[in-house]
């Protein structure tokens, strides 16, 4: 998979070279390009923004600069991802969909956003998604790109040491993952639940499912409503 990021803060994307993502790149599983938007400015001031039509606070990023940048970075096989608090929610399902793509291009806006015509134009040649990582406002899209790239890349074959971890985590079955324990058996007078040391794998699986259901009910009841049809009688008894 190829990943390109266009930003006015390329140094902000340095974490893409670290840890899990850095190792995936070294092993040739992904190829990451980070591009300074100012490479495509055309005036001595290297201006990337201008006052908004219609007035109002802040600045809007200029269409000419973004148009040239995306012409250079995108191909007819790219998918353009635009982080914005005004986007559709980025979910695990979206991460799975992105993990199937051959080329993702992330366009990081700052200020009050990017001239809408940049995306309307790009959409004539490629899929364009405006996506939000949550209901809060960031200063720019860079941190959101780090979040999305990590969510996508860990799903690629060969990136995680143990592929079962990706299959079992929160959201893969629509529930939050329950608690985990390791040695020692007693720590600061707190004990590991007996069932986990019982060796009875059927009991352990049932207990884990119950814990996931209870946790989801308490913390994210909205997720359970979505899952209502998939719960069996035992599941319902837990709730
Ligand atoms: Cl994806 N971008 C920005 N700039 N702010 C956000 C966001 C994204 N998601 C939530 N807030």
Q: What is the DSSP string of 3-68?
A: EEEEES-GGGGGGGGSHHHHHHHHTTS-EEEEEEGGGG--STT---EEPPTT--SS-EE-HHHHHH
94 lines ligand 1 (CB under 6 A): no
Give the residue-averaged pLDDT of 196-205.
98
Nearest alpha-carbon partner for 219 in 179, 183, 167: 179
Binding-site residue ranges: 109, 133-138
**At residue 224, what are phi and psi to the nearest 5 degrees?**
-70, -35
Interface predicted TM-score (ipTM) of this complex, two decimals: 0.91
β-partners of residue 6 are 35, 107
Expressed in angstroms and rounded, the spacing between residue 23 Cα and the centre of ligand 1 is 26
Dist. CA 119 → ligand 1 center (Å): 17
Contact (Cβ atoms closer than 8 angstroms) between residue 8 and residue 48: yes
Q: What are the pLDDT digits (tens) for 69-91?
A: 999 999 999 999 999 999 999 99
pLDDT tens digits for 17-51? Answer: 998 999 999 999 999 999 999 999 999 999 999 99
Per the CB < 8 A criterion, the answer to whether 43 and 142 are in contact is no
User: Rounded to 5 degrees, what are φ and ψ at 8?
Assistant: -90, 0
202 exposure class (CB count in 10 Å sphere: 0-12, 13-18, 19+) = exposed
Tokens of 175: 């529930």
> Does this model's pTM top 0.80?
yes
Q: Is the CB of 132 under 6 A from ligand 1?
A: yes
pLDDT at residue 166 greater than cutoff 80: no
Query: What is the C-alpha separation between 228 and 53, in angstroms, rounded?
Result: 47
Residue 64 CB coordination number (10 Å): 14
| Residue range 143-169: mean pLDDT, rounded | 89
């Amino acid at each position: 998979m190829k990943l390109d990021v266009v930003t006015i803060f390329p140094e902000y994307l340095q974490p893409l070279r670290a840890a899990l993502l850095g190792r995936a790149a070294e092993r040739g599983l992904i190829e990451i390009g980070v591009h300074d938007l100012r490479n495509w400015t055309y005036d001595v001031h290297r201006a990337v923004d201008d006052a908004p039509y219609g007035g109002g606070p802040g600045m809007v990023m200029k269409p000419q600069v973004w148009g040239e940048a995306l012409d250079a970075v995108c191909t007819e096989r790219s998918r353009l991802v635009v982080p914005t608090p005004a986007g559709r929610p980025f979910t695990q399902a979206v991460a799975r969909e992105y993990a199937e793509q051959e080329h993702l291009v992330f366009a990081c806006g700052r200020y009050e956003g990017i001239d809408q015509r940049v995306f309307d134009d790009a959409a004539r040649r490629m899929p364009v998604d405006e996506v939000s990582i949550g209901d809060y406002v960031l200063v720019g899209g860079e941190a959101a790109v780090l979040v999305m790239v990590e969510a996508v890349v860990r799903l690629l074959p060969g990136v995680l040491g143990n592929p079962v971890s990706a299959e079992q985590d929160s959201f893969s079955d629509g529930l939050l993952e329950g608690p985990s324990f390791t040695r020692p058996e007693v720590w600061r007078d707190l004990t590991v639940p007996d069932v986990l040391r019982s060796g009875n794998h059927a009991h352990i699986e049932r207990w884990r499912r119950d814990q996931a259901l209870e946790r989801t009910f308490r913390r994210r009841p909205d997720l359970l409503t979505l899952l209502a049809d998939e719960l069996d009688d035992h599941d319902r008894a837990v709730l």
